[in-house]
Amino acid sequence: MDEIEYVWSVLGGDAALTTRVARAARPEVLEARLPVRALASACVGACALAAAELAARRAAPGGVPAVRVDDGAVAAAFTSERHLRIGGREPVSFAPLSRLWRTADGWVRTHANYPHHRARLLAALGLARDTEDARAVDAVGSLLAGLPARSVEETVYAAGGAAVALRTPEEWASSEQGRAVAGRPLVERGVLDASPARTFAPVPPSAGALLPAAGLRVLDLTRVIAGPVATRTLALLGADVLRVDPPGLPELPDQHVDTGFGKRSATLDLTCDQAAFEELLGAADVVVTGYRPGSLDRFGLSPRALAARRPGLVVARLSAWGAYGPWAGRRGFDSLVQVGTGIAALEGTADRPGALPAQALDHGTGYLLAAGVLRALTEQSRHGGSRYVEVALARTAAWLSAGPAPDGASGAGRPHGVGGSAGSASADTGGTRGTGGTGGPSTLGTGSGARRVRAAGDAGGPGASPWLRERESPLGRLRYALPPVRFEGGPTDWERAPGPWGADAARWV
């Protein structure tokens, strides 16, 4: 409970409400050297408590519903992309050029899942973008073996690609970006104006599941995992979530399915459809963005600009490295942040970097962002004001990397550091997860020292876990992980299955 208390305090919540949270601990899941399980349960628990608090605010009097956090459900959700099946087919995970590479002086991690990032990586290294995957892997490997890791990092980023050199925790902490990240709160929150208090229509408890976000409109301008996890959670809680993407930049199909539950998906070109966007904004309650800091400012999408046009708005922003410091404008993904902040070094061996048993920075930060939005809505109903919420994968990484509190010590009130047990890793903890082939952080290596990392529901068929479900969808029969955010009387599954990317109209229902 200590870490849920810490996250709840960062979110500005009433400390007394944490007594409403009960946790079912399962020490066999999400095993790692770092306390991944404690982080995951704290992020989900705080999000569920924020949902329960808002539900109590909107429903008939009766107090905040009880919250239950089950480590099994949390582990399944944090590895949801691993459990997903679409018509019986396993999803495509990491692309061949998204991997760790040995360099002349260490290691570098590249991310090339998206075609434009793949093309920029190859261009930065002087290779043709149409190079076939197997030949590209050989060519890139040969080139990088003779180059310094940080030189590769700078060259690829300068070309608009994504690559990060492996750093130790000490190297990251002493860097300018590391210091900038360490000086920020886990969740940044603030008030943008003095707009009137939000008035909610009551949510009658008798109308099925208690949906604290019912009637709210969420404009989802996010991609990849963390942002879509946040908006997927808001959709679970009853919000009308409309995800909007540029028409020429489609999401990875399997990733879209995994994070698309409960939402509608539309395309809109902001360079020529500004009027259509303003119409959406004019009726929105929440805007969530997940692009690089500053990249959307030219469209008037900074928090203050949005609130000026739509007073009473909640603006939630996600970034990889934080909206500050020399890396503020850099692209980033969970796997890259693990490498850059020292997590890969901590989870690896002297011979090879490792990775967390899940893309925990993405998933954890997503639930933190959703929790921040829910708390902002509750505070608006009391004090008014347009509000902003900001989170960063690198800041979540700093919290995780600080490690558990000493035995018997409380984690509450500490600036960072995930308390609780990290799980008892076996002696052969130096796994080679995500270090080669098409594998990523959720793929286990097979070399000497590799270990089995268990996530709830990863054994057996579709009925092997209580945290997995199957349902029909416009895309075929889906197997998926159920949402871990649970409170008494609340929803247990999404009403809407994901549909094709960009198939919905860019308008509110």
Residues carrying an active site annotation = 362
Rounded Cα distance, 37 and 504, in Å: 37
Strand, coil or helix: what is 362?
Answer: helix
SS3 48: helix
Give the full edge-to-edge strand order of the sheet including 100-102. Answer: 100-102, 107-110, 163-165
Distance, in Å, from the CA atom of 326 to the CA atom of 123, rounded to the nearest integer, reads 24
Those residues with Cβ within 8 angstroms of residue 160's Cβ, 6 or more apart along the chain or in another chain = 116, 120
Spatial CB neighbours of 350, under 8 Å, sequence gap ≥ 6: none
Report the SS3 class of residue 424.
coil
CA distance 259 to 440: 18
Q: Residue 158 corresponds to which tokens in the numbers above?
A: 């300068």
Query: What is the C-alpha to C-alpha distance for residues 396 and 486, in angstroms, rounded to an integer?
Result: 22
Q: What's the Rg (C-alpha) of the chain?
A: 22
CA distance 337 to 312: 33
What angle, rounded to 10 degrees, do the helices at 149-158 and 115-124 form?
120
List Cβ neighbours of 320 (8 Å cut-off, separation of 6 or more): 292, 330, 331, 332, 333, 336, 337, 392, 393, 394
